[in-house]
Structure 1
Amino acid sequence: MRVRASIAVLLLSAAALTACATSGGSSPTTSGTASASAEQTPTDTPTPSPTIDSDDPSTWIITEDGMGPIALGDPFPEALALMPEGTRNDTTNCAWTAWWNAPDQSYQVFAARASDSADDGPVINVSTDSWSDPAVADGPRTAEGIGVGSTVDEVRAAYPAAIEMPDSIGPDIVYLKVGRIFFTYRETPVITSITVTTADVPPYEVCG
């Protein structure tokens, strides 16, 4: 009887050791799977870049480098080729400027080289304006959504560091300067013109 009891005890002990070994072997696999899952990160979806249509200035983005496809420093003929269909360039009276009017006449876009530069001189000004009713102009805008028709308060909210400066020729003209971007307004605190320029201030007249 004692021999049978001893055998039974040994069998139970062996079974217990086998169960522990099996349980211990499965744990690292489960833990490893959990760790691998924890280390995985979701793939960020890239934000699509805005599409710029050369013939539609309402798609143009205003930056310190230019406006839409027109960049400061571009040879003037190249900039002229990138202006919307219907752009005019009076080679007799205003050869240094190209200008385009919106079909509804609500706003304009200009690109200009220096008046005394060569025909292929670099672009020094790109601008958009509306003097009749800026509120209806649907033209170029900055990445912050500021364009002709925006209010002065909206410009200051978007660009707290904007510098206010009066025009030296026209005392009723005021600029809000952000780098090389000039937001222009007069008595009414609504932006009527936006110019990106390499000059200290925008030109008083486009073809003057």
Structure 2
Amino acid sequence: MDTALTATSRLSLQNSTSGIPCIGFGSYKIRGQTCAAAVLAALSAGYRHVDSAALYRNEVRVREAIEQSGVARQDLFLTTKVGSPRRKTERTEVYEDVIETVERVAGKDGCVDLLLMHVPGPSREHRQSLWEAMEKVKRETRTRNIGVSNFRVRHLEEMKEYATEWPPSVNQIEIHDSGYIQQYQYEQRCV
């Protein structure tokens, strides 16, 4: 059995019929034309998963690069992350922020493959209103999957009380040698 990891290898997602490419191109700290050129180079090299975020302030450049690449949208897996609703608490305002994020990276009527809550944020109220907006965006088919990023076990446990869609499709976490103990706790929790 061939177990080689390639740019097109995919993993199954929770609550989903789609798979996420195992290897993706992250656009953190890349701005302007440098971002567009880097995404184009990654797609040319065979990457089919591109990861962006509202916090990175480069989603429009990511979208432009994808449009210029000639790679069919159905062959790509597009991830973006929404962050704090900028002190907005009204459900309508939070929802509008989420839609704006999707549109910056996927276009006016576009869809992303994975929409993540970038950070747990300052409070349960924040997490709940943002998650509910993300669930609505999924029901409207503006994203295929929803998940979280940088959540600790306690945040995931709390979500069970308000999440209609459970569990999140993904908890995108940082993995490196200095965070091994924390990552081990996640692995044990998610198995």
TM-score, normalised to structure 2, is 0.25
User: Higher helix proportion, which one?
Assistant: 2
User: Higher strand proportion, which one?
Assistant: 1
TM-score, normalised to structure 1, is 0.24
